[in-house]
Amino acid sequence: MPSFNLISSVLLFFYIFDLAAEANPSFLYKFCYDKDTTFTTNSTYGTNLNLLLSSLTSNANRIDGFYNTTVGQQPPDRIYGLFLCRGDVTPDVCRDCVAAAARNATSLCPVEKNSVIWYDKCMLRYSNESIFSTMETRPGGTVWDNDTFTEEEDFVDIVASLVKDVASEAADAPMGAKKFATKEANLSGSQTLYSFAQCTPDISDVACNLCLESAITEFSDCCRQKEKATRASSLLPSCNVQYGLTPFYNKTAGEVSRSKPSPLPSRDSGKGKISSQTIIYIIVPTGGFLVLLSTFCYCILRRKARMKPYLLKDQKDKSKARTMNSLQYDMSTIEAATDNFSDANMIGVGGFGSVYKGTLANGQEIAVKRLSRSSKQGAEEFKNEVVLVAKLQHRNLVRLLGFCVEREERMLIYEFVPNKSLDCFLFDTEKQKQLDWPTRLKIIKGTARGLLYLHTDSRLKIVHRDLKPSNILLDEDMNPKISDFGMARIVEENHNLEYTKKIVGTYGYIAPEYALHGIFSFKSDVYSYGVLTLEIVGGKTNASFYNPESAENLLCYVGPT
């Protein structure tokens, strides 16, 4: 009937309008960097960029939502590009988002050769250097708003727990698969907290995990209080993490389920006339729908107006952003430095893997800690050291120069410390002669300064949990440097004690309350430092004093009888 056709047409119009509004990509953030490396529109690089953007757009309807390609034969005009669509969107939505990003790329970053452009449903990136299969966390940005209120008292803690869980699920995806996950948590007052995490599928699970941890860390600068950010997105080149109090993704991974409107009941006599009741049926739902639609549009516009780009602190300084990027080394650089990991360059072996000495092209000597592929403990230690040591700077801590995650390899690159570890001198009858009393005192004091920095002076308050002679490296002047932070744990401020069911460390250096009950604190390191000091003074290991008949050890030997 005409009345029902009219209703269907009206509803269909708004349904299509609603779909179009939902699929319409929204710009979030962009970063154009390396401004000393620029190009002009009519240059070869400019032409190649246009070809690249066209190629990315043409391939943007892929099921996997990811594509990378290269245009140009030789540098400096060769250009690398890729796009990543959000894991839950359809190929059509992906295509529209990439097309919008490509269309606006040259106006957003008109002269820079390197750029990352984020929309709500995709990310587009290009560079004059290879960016494929390499995890990068800089440059990046955090976008947030606070237009949704929550009365949840533990909101910040719930956010922290939820984004950690969703990041872990995303990183578990196998190489080449869509590395994304969604997760929800119920709050008080019938509210739901939504979260989303995703990595580019060309990086390993370990690299994805590291990237997502970096993304989550950036939330702490903007989102420590619920009044500041009830919705936020941490956007990095290789990954992103988002959360909010309103749904912003499709739980069914792009398959939008919408029920077809059921026919309205008719009381028409069949003579083609529209009754007053039918008119009410038309006007009331349509009017109500228009009110809801207007409210929805107002909320969207208000939210976009309040969305604030939050620059990471170190992005304000372009050189500092480059420094962060330089933390990651490629495999070819490490292979060249270590002579392809030759046996002649191997300087140590442990349960985690091997350590090699290397020399970079600029002449700098390095120590490369290469983790065994079969060592699960090594993978955890690797992640821990990258997250912690990169943020620590002190003359009595070994300095992390960078890391490499490529071809399923995991490596840490440290400054090379020529005199190896303290135990090589302390427990060797010949080398022990080099440790005169001033040198021993310098080692004791330097180690104490390093511990003091970890416990009180660093931005992160850290318990080392494995302090012993083999983890004290000595430089050319016999200055001590605390190393091996694989077992270290961050301790929250105002928390005097922490508990764990997994006891790690080396027996003989572990505090009794930690060994017996899993209780550790800064005092645990102080206990280990005390044992270490006694060994430095006495020149003998704690174990050398062990007597099975009396259960005596070094501490009993020096203690009161």
Pick out the residues of the known binding site for ATP.
Answer: 369
CA gap 418, 394 in Å, rounded? 18
CA gap 545, 557 in Å, rounded? 8
- Annotated binding site, which residues? 369
Peptide bond into 480 cis (omega under 30): no
125: its two tokens:
């990136």
Q: Is the C-alpha dihedral spanning 164, 241, 301, 249 positive or negative?
A: negative
Burial class of residue 262 in the structure, from the number of CB atoms within 10 Å of its CB (0-12 exposed, 13-18 middle, 19+ buried): exposed
Which are the contacts of 74, defined by CB distance < 8 A and separation ≥ 6? none
Q: State the SS3 of 130-184.
A: CCCCCCCCCCCEEEEECCCCCCCCCHHHHHHHHHHHHHHHHHCCCCCCCEEEEEE
Packing angle, helices 2-23 and 91-108, rounded to 10: 50
Is 96 a known active-site residue?
Answer: no
Half-sphere exposure of 348 (CA within 13 A, CB side): 21
Bridge partner residues of 80 (DSSP): 70, 127
Catalytic annotation, pick one of 88, 466, 484, 525: 466
Q: Are 337 and 359 in contact (CB under 8 A)?
A: yes
Burial class of residue 22 in the structure, from the number of CB atoms within 10 Å of its CB (0-12 exposed, 13-18 middle, 19+ buried): exposed
CA gap 244, 166 in Å, rounded? 13
Q: Give catalytic residues, as residue numbers.
A: 466
